[in-house]
Amino acid sequence: MLNRLALTACALWALSGGVAAAESLKLGISTTLSGAAAQWGITMDFVGHQAADWINSHGGIKVDGKTYTVEVQSYDNKYTAQDGARVAQEMIGRAGIKYVVGALGTAPIRATQSISERAGVILMNIAWGMATKGPKFPYSFTTENTGREIIEPFFDYVHKQHPDAKTVAMINPNDATGKDVSELNGPAWRKLGVNVVADEFYERGTTDFSALATKFAQLKPDIINVGMPPGDAGLAIRQLHTLGWKGVIVMESGSSPAQMWQIAGDAVEGAYIGGAADFAGPTATDVQRALQAKATKDINTDLTMVSMSVWDGMMALKKAMETANSVDPKAVRDTLPKIVFESSWGPSAFGRADLYGSPQQILLPVVISRISQGKTVEVARIPSAEFAARERKQ
């Protein structure tokens, strides 16, 4: 079995009637529930509630002779620093939440850290920036592959498929997330001998990309590297396609292919994605297939690696709490880097101390996919070398 939990779709959500005399732990999610990236937030919230149901129906979290159930509340950070700070104050200051099990967007995550680190609150997040990790942020852990895990193997794969490609144009949001991605992607392309002919930024919420599309069409790059949420990406690619550009589309964070297809249709056909997986396909684990089946039935959408990060963060917390025999965030913080836990991908752990200065990055395979008729089709899955080495030593 790909996943040692060996869960089936039926068993995953069959509640056992609760746990007697259980205390409750409040868990928070800071995500975007409105705007172009709302699809990510909606599925993060969905997976968070499925994970809570699973934990509660499988005996809760057992610590120091007590049994804890969990409850999850999601908050809309609108993908901005201002709203990220507002949400952090509401979660931590008013609701008394000690564990944030999912956080989306570098800008709102940085704003959250300014509160969560001082308050000693665990922050599971998916920020891509280097500035959110390291010894200065001991309570922060990343539960999805970031650009520094994805970019090198992803771009290398694409370049091998298109060895004649010589130029690339990049577009990213004009915020902390977009600038981090741009600073990472440009050197990676140049290392492969691909010249960056444009490095553009746009304001989130933009719906008219005609000026940028015209500029890119005139430049005629072989590759367009799109670092945008699915709604924005679909609009931009559709407008570029109408101008006759038909090169290679590369999206290292291109989750929600179905949403992009609904907006752009054939314009996104064949696009390469470094941040999407087929959770209903043969390479998915039992847990991932069960979650995807439930999402299809309940909210009629595909899950993404962004969504799945919440499940992984919650399972890591459960294992760390039970291993530490404590729900104290400091004890859990110190335990998280030492454990191997059952993620939605199977056994996983936190690592990358060599890069970030401390083991705060989840170790997952890099999944490379393409869009085919609105569906995610995996073409390569590259295991984490660090986790494989760790497993060999045990």
241-280 tens-digit pLDDT: 999 999 999 998 766 777 888 898 899 999 999 878 889 9
Is-above-0.85 flag for pTM?
Answer: no
The confidence score (pLDDT) of residue 18 equals: 42
Domain residues of the chain, as ranges? 9-144+304-363, 148-273
Residue-wise pLDDT for 96-130, tens only, equals 999 999 999 988 999 999 999 999 999 999 998 78
The confidence score (pLDDT) of residue 389 equals: 92
The confidence score (pLDDT) of residue 98 equals: 98
Q: Is the pLDDT of residue 213 over 60?
A: yes
State the DSSP code for 221. -
- Residue 265 phi, psi dihedral angles, 5° rounding: 55, -135
| Residue for token pair 């280097």 | 130
Length of the chain in residues, anyone? 394
Q: Please state which CATH number belongs to domain 148-273.
A: 3.40.50.2300
C-beta neighbour count of 164 within 10 angstroms: 6
The percent of residues in the chain predicted with pLDDT above 90, rounded, is 74
Cα–Cα distances in Å, from 220 out to 194, 225, 232, 263, 366?
Answer: 14, 13, 21, 23, 29
- Residue 327 phi, psi dihedral angles, 5° rounding: -105, 10
According to CATH, the topology of domain 9-144+304-363 is Rossmann fold (3.40.50)
Cα–Cα distances in Å, from 78 out to 122, 272, 351?
Answer: 21, 27, 30
Do 9-144+304-363 and 148-273 have matching folds?
A: yes
Element at 39 (helix H, strand E): helix 38-57
Beta strands in the chain (DSSP E): 23-31, 61-63, 66-76, 99-103, 122-125, 140-142, 167-173, 195-202, 223-226, 248-251, 272-273, 341-343, 346-348, 350-351, 361-362, 366-372, 375-382
